[in-house]
Amino acid sequence: MTIYQAFQTHADLTDPLKDLARRAAPMLHDAGFGLKKWAVMRGAAAACEVLAAAHITHHRPPFRINMTQVGGREMAVHEEIVHATPFATLLRFAKEDAQLTQPKVLLVAPMSGHFATLLRDTARTLLQDHDVYITDWRNARDVPLSAGPFGMDDYISHIIDFLGVLAPDAHIVAVCQPCVAALAAVAIMAEDDHPATPRSMTLMAGPVDCRISPTRVNELATSRSLNWFERNLISAVPLRHPGARRRVYPGFLQLTAFMNMNLERHITSFRTLFEDIVKGDVDKARITRAFYEEYFAVADLPAEFYLETVRDVFQEYALARGTLKWRGRVVNPGAIRRTALLTIEGEKDDICALGQTLAAQDLCSSLRPYLRTHYVQPGAGHYGVFSGSRWKNSIYPMVRDVIQTMT
């Protein structure tokens, strides 16, 4: 039995229990809070909610971006599919005012075990001043074998093609893992004098050069051979899914790895969730549930893309060393001459350490000083770079200003 088959069997056995807990919680709440002396009922209701919250899903949660503020005016937003491939959708958050003209921004989401909705807060904030598009990557287990393989070359090609759809005068913002691919795509476009070469490129908390201040994630990637990763972490999608027999890196393995990095913190979060539900602190409990709804929504990665990312980004540092190739062609960041570069890092980022994203500044050796900006956000961890108050109040204004300057 493969690891994916074992996971599927376990899910099939436990999902009915979690579904029962989800259904039982409201009934127990009615009994518990209607009769406050029944503390045991409140505890039972809280236990059911916690059990239901600890549930891995393989479906993208909704973005839930329905409104935005533009110049102090509330404006409705709807999702619009602009372009689609078997592996991704170019999704636009279209505003109700069709005559509104704002800079076009391609927000490149990671393909790293979660869905693009992980950047919900990033997109919502960008929407105030920009026409925002996002790379909505599909769960690989839902992509049939007939669609073919998907590797790093294909990822870079998707970015180039999506920028072509937005042309001309678009901007690109990449968060975390896709910083390498985004930089490569812009370098290729610049070298080819592509008409859709973006006016600015923002790279946020990305592993451009993992030789700098290696984190636990980096050390894990170099502690084993590529063959070890392929033998132990790659599995075939079970027959019941549309992508049956496709080789993938299962999203639940990535989730497990990240949870183990901060296991005590997650245990504390669920303990606090239980206590908040018992106390009737609805708002705090809602925030925690919303976080884990997103966190436990996992997406499988195509095996080719995962293994090439481990090799090129985390083991061989190919872009930083000048050996990264796209379709057999060496990627040359020095070809970028007119695209403004903004690199952003978090002071306390334990996934992508200080200096790893800054490395892009040296690689883009042909850029003049006035086209370069680097910023380190004090106190910010990895997720704080692109979500939360530090992103909204300190980081976003810098992103906005660079885009406006180059528009």
Per-residue pLDDT band for 288 (boundaries 50, 70, 90) equals confident
The domain total for the chain is 2
Dump pLDDT digits (tens) for 227-236: 999 999 999 9
For residue 33, what pLDDT is reported? 45
Residues 195 and 89 in one domain: yes
Share of the chain above pLDDT 70, in %: 88
Tell whether 385 is covered by a domain: yes
Dump pLDDT digits (tens) for 105-132: 999 999 988 999 999 999 999 999 999 9
Residues 113 and 209 in one domain: yes
Question: Between 99 and 185, where is the model more confident?
Answer: 185
- The mean pLDDT value for 318-343 works out to 98
- Among 272, 295, 318, identify where a domain stops: 295
- Among 295, 313, 338, identify where a domain stops: 295
Domain region containing 37: 3-55+264-295
Structure tokens at 267: 């245990």
Residue 177 has pLDDT above 90, yes or no: yes
Tell whether 110 is covered by a domain: yes
Residue 206 has pLDDT above 90, yes or no: yes
- The mean pLDDT value for 391-405 works out to 97
CATH number at residue 390: 3.40.50.1820
- The mean pLDDT value for 267-293 works out to 78
Per-residue pLDDT band for 279 (boundaries 50, 70, 90) equals confident
In the chain the first and final C-alpha atoms are separated, in Å, by 55
For residue 11, what pLDDT is reported? 66
Tell whether 241 is covered by a domain: no
Tell whether 22 is covered by a domain: yes
For residue 257, what pLDDT is reported? 76
CA distance 110 to 108: 7
CA distance 337 to 407: 16
Per-residue pLDDT band for 99 (boundaries 50, 70, 90) equals confident
Residues 273 and 208 in one domain: no
Q: What is the mean pLDDT of the chain?
A: 89
Residues 17 and 96 in one domain: no
List C-alpha distances in Å: 12 to 7, 139, 244. Answer: 9, 19, 17
Residues 314 and 285 in one domain: no
Q: How many CB atoms lie within 10 A of CB 114?
A: 23
Tell whether 237 is covered by a domain: no
User: For residue 14, what are the contacts with CB-CB under 8 A and spacing of at least 6?
Assistant: none
Residues 391 and 270 in one domain: no
Tell whether 251 is covered by a domain: no
For residue 37, what pLDDT is reported? 45
CA distance 231 to 246: 15
C-beta of residue 305 within 8 angstroms of C-beta of residue 154: yes
Residues 197 and 327 in one domain: yes
For residue 29, what pLDDT is reported? 57
Tell whether 240 is covered by a domain: no
Residue 165 has pLDDT above 90, yes or no: yes
CA distance 221 to 238: 26
For residue 277, what pLDDT is reported? 73
Residues 270 and 387 in one domain: no
CA distance 210 to 284: 37
Tell whether 250 is covered by a domain: no
Residues 77 and 23 in one domain: no
Residues 44 and 75 in one domain: no
Residues 287 and 306 in one domain: no
Residues 51 and 73 in one domain: no
For residue 53, what pLDDT is reported? 66
At which residue do the structure tokens 């403004």 appear?
340
- Among 295, 318, 335, identify where a domain stops: 295
C-beta of residue 69 within 8 angstroms of C-beta of residue 128: yes
